[in-house]
């Protein structure tokens, strides 16, 4: 007699099943709106220290699951650990954001010494989370998509309209392609490592997909993400990939056709009715509550949740935000949203 296999609703939807109510989780970072996260953070020091501390990162990953019973646990980490492992120095300036040094103004990685061992603690985090995860919850790994990661590597920080990387990509597409290729290769290894450590599915965050003109979008968003998806299917078949090209607008259709993700994330500007009418039948979608509707609560939140719930009557759907949760989100609003989704 074999043991019953636990049902993970989120994983089931990623494999194409309809679930009503839909599974739900809220986008990263995992717990930054939680008092228990702030307490741990005050104890443990900097954000990056936390990412590389498997015990602490596992705890932060699990905090929202314990409090809200989300269907998905999103790894607590940062997309910039990949440039760090490619050899750039990485730190976070308080109140300002990430810094990568040296900035790769010409896209050249030549002087850098790759340090893939920097990713080892993250695999250890995954193992710890999976060991403690409720059997119905899905463990989600992630990485930044190459275009988005490259925008930080080139500028050495966040940049207005991603102009330094966009200019480089036009000016020297050969050098930029080499940089993107290096990110693709390490990202595939990194996601395989997460899968080997136990994640059930992975998400590719292309946070700055929205700033590219169509030809550039095909070349730097669709093509590299497609290569990652193909490599994962070859090397670790059976692990679903969620693609999330934030801000892609109508080009979401090209993304889905070219990348062939197992599911696609919708940002909060996407009309869910348009997505349902336009995307391939049966393709699971994830999203797309406006984080500001969640901040607002009350009627605005109720209307927004209801509109999303009604939009996908016959399509596999994972309820989520359309963008990362904001640190000043009231916990009672998260509870209100969850109650409505699960009603």
> Which residues carry out catalysis?
28, 32, 41, 78, 152
SS3 content of the chain, % helix, strand, coil (to 5): 50, 15, 35
C-beta closer to its own copies: residue 240 or 322: 322
Q: Would you call 309 helix, strand, or coil by DSSP?
A: helix
Q: Closest approach of Cβ 124 to its own copies, in Å?
A: 35
C-beta closer to its own copies: residue 136 or 296: 296
C-beta closer to its own copies: residue 115 or 306: 306
CB atoms within 10 A of CB 64: 26
Q: Closest approach of Cβ 14 to its own copies, in Å?
A: 24
Phi, psi dihedral angles at 203 (to 5 degrees)? -120, 140
Q: Closest approach of Cβ 267 to its own copies, in Å?
A: 9
Q: Closest approach of Cβ 290 to its own copies, in Å?
A: 4
Tokens of 283: 């393709």
C-beta closer to its own copies: residue 192 or 307: 307
Burial class (CB in 10 A: 0-12, 13-18, 19+), 122: buried
Binding site for its own copies (CB under 8 A): 163, 166-167, 170-171, 173, 210-217, 247-254, 268-274, 278, 290, 292-293, 295-296, 300, 303-304, 307, 322
Chain centroid offset of residue 311 CA: 23
C-beta closer to its own copies: residue 12 or 295: 295
CA distance 251 to 242: 16
CA angle (7, 9, 15) in 5-degree steps: 100
Q: Closest approach of Cβ 294 to its own copies, in Å?
A: 10
Contact 256, 236 (CB under 8 A): no
Chain centroid offset of residue 332 CA: 24
């Amino acid at each position: 007699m074999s043991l019953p296999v636990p049902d993970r609703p989120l994983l089931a939807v990623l494999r194409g099943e309809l679930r009503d109510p839909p599974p739900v989780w809220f986008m990263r970072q995992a717990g930054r709106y939680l008092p228990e996260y702030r307490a741990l953070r005050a104890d443990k020091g900097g954000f990056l220290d936390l990412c590389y501390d498997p015990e602490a990162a596992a705890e932060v990953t699990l905090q929202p699951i314990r409090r809200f019973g989300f269907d998905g646990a999103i790894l607590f980490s940062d997309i910039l650990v990949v440039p760090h492992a490619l050899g750039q120095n990485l730190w976070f300036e308080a109140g300002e954001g990430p810094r990568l040094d040296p900035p790769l103004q010409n896209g050249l990685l030549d002087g850098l010494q790759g340090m893939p061992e920097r990713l080892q603690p993250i695999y250890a985090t995954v193992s710890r989370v999976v060991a403690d995860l409720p059997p119905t919850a899905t463990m989600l790994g992630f990485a930044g998509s190459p275009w988005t990661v490259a925008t930080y590597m080139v500028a050495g920080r966040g940049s207005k309209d991603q102009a330094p990387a966009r200019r480089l990509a036009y000016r020297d597409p050969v050098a930029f392609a080499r940089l993107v290729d290096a990110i693709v290769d390490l990202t595939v290894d990194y996601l395989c490592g997460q899968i080997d450590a136990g994640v059930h599915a992975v998400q590719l965050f292309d946070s700055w997909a929205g700033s590219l003109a169509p030809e550039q979008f095909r070349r730097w968003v669709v093509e590299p993400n497609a290569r990652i998806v193909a490599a994962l299917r070859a090397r670790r078949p059976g692990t679903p990939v969620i693609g999330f090209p934030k801000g892609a607008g109508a080009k979401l259709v090209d993304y889905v056709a070219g990348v062939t993700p197992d599911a696609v994330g919708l940002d909060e500007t996407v009309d869910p009715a348009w997505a349902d009418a336009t995307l391939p039948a049966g393709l699971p979608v994830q999203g797309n509550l406006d984080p500001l509707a969640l901040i607002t609560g009350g009627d605005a939140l109720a209307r927004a949740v209801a509109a999303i719930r009604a939009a996908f009557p016959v399509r596999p759907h994972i309820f989520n935000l359309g963008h990362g949760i904001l640190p000043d989100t009231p916990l009672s609003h998260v509870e209100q949203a969850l109650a409505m989704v699960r009603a």
